[in-house]
Structure 1
Amino acid sequence: MADAPLTYNQAVKGITEFIEVAIHTILYVRQVYPADLFIRRKKYNTPVFQSRHPALNEYISGAVKAVGEEMVLGHVDKVVVVIKDKEEVALERFIFSIQSMINVEGYNKETSVQDAMSPTALGMYFRSFLVKLSIMESQLSPLSYGGEDVSFAILLELQDEQVPSATEGKDPPPWIPALSQHTTAGVSDEAEIHLVRAVDTGIFNLSLAIQESAEKLQRDGVLVSNDKGKGKES
């Protein structure tokens, strides 16, 4: 039934599908690639933009699939889309925080979870995430510095003492160690944080925040001296 509460597996699939759509949206609105590389689509009853480049799409979908495999195991803490300059300096981090609220045995992961939201309601929340993300984009300073190219990477941050386990034995492995400065642990106290949206699905808590790095703010000449952000410099 369409309005039945989410199952654990439906929640995993719904969140990873949303993250994939959001990554394409981030790349479009932050102009990491030219606008003509994207095509207009509709998802969650709202316009979205999707890359038309096969290799880029394969990278994004492969990373998101691997995220889903770790989510099923309850290991994921954050998924980070880091936008960086040609010197690998992080300029912006789009942080999807995923907090598992319940423990579900494997044989029950296709059973509706009492008090969880419905798939229809979850889709409405995802729509509001994307609308707010587009609005938040106008509050961020441009990423271009005299025509300098930027690139991006998808990072997976696991819960303490966890390592990627669902993908062991795969060649090549879907995950490689990230530069510390790209991770949330490498965030300066002077970084600016913008909360986009949060939702409690009844199975996972999902939130999206944007961090503008201290390095980016210094280049823009807008860095203020009072403490902002969280974490420590690597």
Structure 2
Amino acid sequence: MDNCFIDTTLEFLQIAFHNILYYASIYPISIFETRRKYSIVVYRSNHPEVNEYIDLCLKSIAECLHNGDLKRVEFAITSSDYEVLMKFVFDLDKNDTHDETRDAYLVQAEQNMRAFCLKLTTLSDKFTDLPEDRSFMIFLHTNESAAVAMAANPELESFPLVETEVETEFQHILPLRRFCVRNYNLDMYMEFR
């Protein structure tokens, strides 16, 4: 798999995860600091445990991407008893007709990543009915061979994947963005009640 795609996708997911945490008010705004990325202000948690969890999830995502075994990433906002209340879905789809000269410097991809982050600022009405004691989880849709490969990776030994059967039906789907990074399409949408 293309290392440029992997690095770009991981960086984008990290920014997306932290900004979803900020805008959904999962943690107090006092644990966030501002940064600049994609020519806009973005937010990043400075809480060590939150950052460690996100970083370990990103390492798992990187492992799956290197093996070509990742189909979807879901960032789920949950209740205190881990019921999924809403989720942000990041679908990855290989584009076999990709033209290497199109967006060679990832200018369009960066503009789309910026647009996604700006779109999060407009979703505040979607977060108003969430319970006060909410949390989050990150789900990876992959295959069994990826789970076995990650279990054998010493860097991920302390952070094993847990197989789960969480299939929550939502009444609403809100498309957020679709764009291309190298020879992959990223399709992002939000599911909520």
TM-score of the superposed pair, with normalisation by structure 1: 0.73
1:207 to 180, 183, 187: 187
Contact map agreement 1:30 1:143 (CA 8 A) in 2: no
Partner-residue secondary structure (3-state), 1:76: coil
1:34 aligns with 2:20: no
1:95 corresponds in structure 2 to 89
2:119 to 104, 112, 132: 132
Contact map agreement 1:70 1:165 (CA 8 A) in 2: no
Q: What's the offset of the Cα at 1:13?
A: 0.6
Flag the structure with larger Rg.
Answer: 1
Distance in 2 of aligned mates of 1:187 and 1:99: 22
Runs of 4+ in 1 over 4 A off after TM superposition: none
Partner-residue secondary structure (3-state), 1:193: strand
Partner-residue secondary structure (3-state), 2:20: helix
The aligned amino acid for 2:113 is F
1:153 to 111, 125, 137: 137
RMSD: 2.2
1:168 corresponds in structure 2 to 151
Mapping 1:67-106, distance limit 5 Å: 67-102=61-96
Structure 2 unaligned regions, length at least 5: none
Contact map agreement 1:84 1:91 (CA 8 A) in 2: yes
1:119 corresponds in structure 2 to 106
1:66 aligns with 2:60: yes
Contact map agreement 2:73 2:138 (CA 8 A) in 1: yes
Rate the CA distance shift 1:62–1:143 in 2: closer, same or farther, 3 A: farther
1:24 to 18, 27, 32: 18
Looking at secondary structure, tell me which structure has more helix per residue.
Answer: 2
Distance in 2 of aligned mates of 1:89 and 1:173: 22
Structure 1 unaligned regions, length at least 5: 1-6, 103-112, 218-234
Contact map agreement 1:93 1:211 (CA 8 A) in 2: yes
TM-score of the superposed pair, with normalisation by structure 2: 0.88
Aligned residues: 188
Distance in 2 of aligned mates of 1:99 and 1:123: 18
Q: What's the offset of the Cα at 1:166?
A: 3.9
Contact map agreement 2:64 2:146 (CA 8 A) in 1: no
Distance in 2 of aligned mates of 1:191 and 1:24: 25
